[in-house]
Amino acid sequence: MLTALGTTMDKLIGFDSEADGYLVKPFHFEELAARVNARARRPTETFQESILRIADLEMDVLKKTVKRSGKNIFLTAKEFTLLEYLVNNRGKVLSRTSIAESIWVTHFDKGANIIDVYINYLRSKIDKGFSPPLIHTIIGMGYVLREEKQG
């Protein structure tokens, strides 16, 4: 997305509209070229299982649906993409930078909190009211999606 709107809320709205990147005008052509090249380096999609599961969470990547304990959970396009990335990398600690580069394909401003904002959106939808929680913060490192037995 190429736009003159550069507030955090503008960016969140853009990403919720399925933008893979967000570039605020005025911009440097070199940065635009670098973003296009980064996107072109992404591997092409390969066949994957349609239903992804961890604990009582179920994602259907073809139907774009999510359920936890049989309850439908409604996610925005960007939330769904982020959750899919977390599920596909379950058990791995993912840094904010790796999440940003994989989901937003954009230059990651270490001062920005967009990853934290979206992780909180997901937590409120897939962890709040369910047990055990699946999204965990690893202080100083990032986030991990895993089932931890409580007791």
CATH number at residue 83: 1.10.10.10
In angstroms, the CA 41 to CA 145 distance is 26
CA distance 10 to 45: 29
Residue 150 domain-assigned (yes or no) = no
- 3-12, 35-44, 125-134: which is most confident: 125-134
- 84-128 per-position pLDDT tens digit: 999 999 999 999 888 988 887 666 565 568 899 999 999 999 999
Task: Identify whether 117 is part of a domain.
Answer: yes
* Containing structural domain, residue 42: 2-145
Count of the separate structural domains present in the chain: 1
For the segment 16-43, what is each residue's pLDDT rounded down to a tens digit?
776 777 888 888 888 888 878 777 777 6
CA 131/CA 22 separation, integer angstroms? 35
pTM for this model (two decimals): 0.67
Position 98 in a domain:
yes
Residue 151: inside a domain: no
Domain assignment present for residue 139? The answer is yes
Residue 123 resides in a domain: yes
Q: What is the token pair recorded at 32?
A: 């635009």
